[in-house]
Amino acid sequence: MVATVLALGACAAAGAAPAGPVRPGIDVLLTDSIGLVRGKSVGLVTNQTGVDRSGVSDVERLRAAGVRLVALFSPEHGFRGAAAPGAAVSSTVDSATGLPIYSLYGRTSAPTDSMLQGIDVMLVDLQDAGARYYTYLATTVNVIRSAGRHGIPVVVLDRPDPIGGKVQGNVLDTAYSSAVGLLAVPMRHGMTLGELTLLAVSDLKLNGKVSVVPVSGWRREMTFDQTGLPFILPSPNLQSLEALFHYPGLCLFEGTALSVGRGTPHAFEMIGAPWLDTTAVLARLRAAQIPGVSFHGQTFRPRQPGDGKFADTLVNGIRLEVTNRSMYDPTATAVQLLTAVQAVHPDRIGWRTGAFDRLAGGPGLREAVVAGTDPARIIGSWRGPLDRFLARRRPFLLY
């Protein structure tokens, strides 16, 4: 595998001091690295998040720069980012440019030979969510595999990790690798999509030529609201930075009978069910004195399109609010929540075993919660694998 890291205009070395405003990879490409696409026929994998620092779309920027853009490709949720989670998306034509938009989340999850015909280089520009469960890395890997068979280089235009560089949660068992957990990384990995791609190149022994154009001016401790970049929903149910901070933990509840608030303005900021005894669960959470987060009871009524759980039904819920980002661990908080709900409602938590274990990176977490294991012991068991992950990822860090 030939993996090339381009660091033009960016702080490419971990710990290097950034200079100037934060600029995503598309800005760096067009100002410092235009030679990668000049005179070539270009395919672009992107969605609504593919914009420059001013919010102008990649498609518009590339065409204005004279880049010969010949095809567009879209991930889960489609090119406009409006499709429901898990919904198959059909290929179509972009009405503004007449370019084909090939869906990589429908009949095929990877570009076919005919889709790649006539393309000299593939660009990937997708905003990751900072959590292991997101499918955009799997899409990127599928693009690299397909492009590699045709000798087409892939260039990832990097973007910040929106919730910063903290690393938290358990490390996935690769026996449970899937599109919602492709690599042996923690629930909150603290990496950008570009860095994850380089790790995937190594772990999966991918063939081809892969380059990453890094973000300029970003430091790993910076969260998205410190970048000055426009916040665009990475997917329909991640509607705020607050939701993104909770997502590495609360996404686990997708594998239970409880709602995570899909179909409301506060998805992934709360959990609930009509039968949930919020008083009893809240008492356990408050007794645990979980740092960096507060809890309060809140009823909500999920609307369609949601997740199919309790649609148009009044739900008893628990809302989470980050009070201290530096202290908050959404993955440890999720363990406390799961343990509390299991203790109060052991017959109603409704483990969806296959789905939960895929998200949790194996059956261990579910089995420990069901067995009544102390949350501190569960969380403490993650320390060794996390330390090994931190060492393993070090060669692939760009910031």
pLDDT digits (tens, 9 = 90+) for 114-144: 999 999 999 999 999 999 999 999 999 999 9
Q: What is the pLDDT of residue 15?
A: 45
> Do 213 and 398 touch, CB atoms closer than 8 A?
no
Please say if the pLDDT value at position 259 is more than 60: yes
Q: Where are the beta strands (DSSP E) in the chain?
A: 2-5, 41-46, 68-74, 92-93, 100-103, 121-125, 154-157, 168-171, 186-188, 209-213, 270-273, 293-300, 315-322
In sequence order, the 6+-apart residues with CB closer than 8 A to the CB of 336 are 284, 285, 288, 290, 375
Question: What confidence tier does 10 reach under pLDDT thresholds 50, 70, 90?
Answer: very low
Number of H helices, E strands in the chain: 12, 13
Q: What is the pLDDT of residue 9?
A: 45
> Do 389 and 169 touch, CB atoms closer than 8 A?
no
Q: What is the pLDDT of residue 303?
A: 87
> Do 250 and 271 touch, CB atoms closer than 8 A?
yes
Q: Judging by DSSP bridges, how do beta strands 270-273 and 315-322 pair with one another?
A: antiparallel
Q: What is the pLDDT of residue 6?
A: 56
Q: What is the pLDDT of residue 86?
A: 84
Please say if the pLDDT value at position 17 is more than 70: no
Sign of CA dihedral 169, 174, 176, 182: positive
Dump pLDDT digits (tens) for 86-108. Answer: 889 999 999 999 999 999 999 99
Average pLDDT over all residues of the chain: 94
> 10 Å Cβ neighbour count for 230?
13
For residue 277 the two structure tokens come to 């005894």
